[in-house]
Copies of this chain bind each other. A is one copy, B any other.
């Protein structure tokens, strides 16, 4: 089923929803970030992954500094509309450490 941005529930997370970024090809999970309505609209409009930075309190596009942009192939929504997956084609390293995923430690 197709949903619209208006149906996303941003209220539980003070205007934000968590976004899982997954490699559309390998299915590896690359990172977890946050989106508000505006960054989600920018993602839909530009086809690149946009987020809201909780630490810098501003919109950011993945790769705006590093050049390692992510082309968004699909956006998935969960059953209660409060979490998203961006399925992407990554250009360059997804993690600021230069690694191929942000999830490089185990517990």
Contact = CB atoms under 8 A, between A and B. Distances in A.
Contact of A3 (B78, B85, B106): B106
A5 B32 CA distance: 19
Copies of this protein, total = 2
B54 A77 contact: no
A42 interface: no
Interface residues of A, number: 40
12 contacts: A3-B106, A4-B107, A18-B32, A20-B32, A22-B29, A44-B107, A76-B106, A77-B106, A78-B102, A79-B95, A79-B104, A85-B103
Interface of A: 1-5, 8, 12, 18, 20, 22, 26-29, 31-32, 40, 44, 54, 74-81, 83-85, 95-97, 99, 102-107
